[in-house]
Amino acid sequence: MRNRIAPVVLFSLALLLSTCTPPPPEKAKDPVTLQLKWLHQAQFAGFYMAREKGYYAEENLDVTFLEGGQDVNPCERLCNSKADFAIVSAESVFSKHKEDRNVKAVAVIYQRSPVVFAAKAESHIVRPQDFAGKTIAVSNVEGGGFVEALIQFNTLMKKMGLKPSDYRTVPFDPLYQDFLSGKADITTTSLVSGAIMLRNKGIQLNFIWPGDYGIPFYSDTLATTDKYLQEKPDIALRFVRASMRGWQDVVEHADEAVDATLKYVEAKDRTFQHDMVEAQMPLVHTGKQPIGWMEPQIWQSMYQILVEQGISQNPVQNLESVYTLDLLKAVYKAEDK
């Protein structure tokens, strides 16, 4: 009997000791800092979703969001190592190429630019040719404002054969005072912000979108640096993969995206944030390419436009120095799209 009991006792002791042994410590999460292009709003809903739904945690990432603002230059934040990733305007990747040569686009969130030119419905301005003889509120490079819109405006006018003497311009006003008062017939605006504000005032609008006239332009672009990609390629891949999952969820679950956004924004205006989510859907998900995807021919077209307008004065010998498809190909397990 004693011989039969001994193994049982030893097994019980071993089991007790194993349950008392503390589990191995969890692996520390890799920190990642994302610099936003502007203040918290639904414009960045995909990143909020990736955090709130645990996609970053699943990739063992601890992601911090840094708000943007009037005096925040996302590209500079990248170059000064104050952020690992940033949402930047697509043209800034080119325009600062010499100064910020190590900034590189890894995904494009807005595959279509939100820039449009708005006119009141009763004006019967419905196409670029109708700009002749009109007053347009558009930015200027010196003012440092809506430069993306100015670039597309100049390109559109040239393509339509309109000279500066054919129309009049006034400075772009984000409050749209000249447009509302009738001093400007047409205003630059964004489908995901200003256009929503104007419609909420009860104004019926006609939109002229440069993309309809053969002027493709990327907008919100996820960028990092060559140094980061070289030193932390695995973290970069995990961050992009989780972020694209977040943006896919925005497309599929708009209400959840609004819920996630409201945890970050200061002004809890659910209607406005919902309208922003809805407005950016066709910009993020075109139905032609996976979310975040980039096409070489569009980068080439943008570069040619920037050179023609003197925005990018520093030659780019190889476009792959300003963007890479490597991470997206790994995310979507694709060699070519």
Q: Domains in the chain, start-ordered, CATH in brackets? A: 30-111+218-332 (3.40.190.10), 115-213 (3.40.190.10)
| Tokens read off for 68 | 């943007």
Q: Which residues pair with 104 in a beta bridge?
A: 224
Q: How far is CA 105 from CA 30, 187, 199, 299, in A?
A: 21, 30, 33, 11
Q: What pLDDT does 238 receive?
A: 98
Note the residue count of the chain: 337
Instruction: Determine if residue 125 is left, alpha or beta; phi over 0 gives left, psi from -120 to 50 gives alpha, anything else beta.
Output: beta
Q: What pLDDT does 15 receive?
A: 46
Q: CB–CB of 201/194 below 8 Å?
A: no
Q: What pLDDT does 335 receive?
A: 45
- Closest to 193 measured CA to CA, from 306, 74, 85, 283: 283
Q: What pLDDT does 92 receive?
A: 85
| Tokens read off for 75 | 């590209």
Q: CB–CB of 247/284 below 8 Å?
A: yes
Q: What pLDDT does 143 receive?
A: 46
Q: What pLDDT does 9 receive?
A: 47
Instruction: Determine if residue 315 is left, alpha or beta; phi over 0 gives left, psi from -120 to 50 gives alpha, anything else beta.
Output: beta
- Amino acid, single-letter form, for residue 102: N
| C-alpha torsion 85→28→231→102, nearest 10 | 10
pTM for the model stands at 0.87
- Tell me the average confidence (pLDDT) per consecutive run of 10 residues in the chain, 337 residues long: 50 50 73 96 97 97 94 89 94 69 90 96 96 91 67 94 95 92 96 94 96 93 94 97 98 96 92 96 93 95 87 74 94 68
Distance from C-alpha of 243 to C-alpha of 226, rounded to nearest angstrom: 19
Q: What pLDDT does 337 receive?
A: 45
- Closest to 138 measured CA to CA, from 170, 160, 166, 182: 170
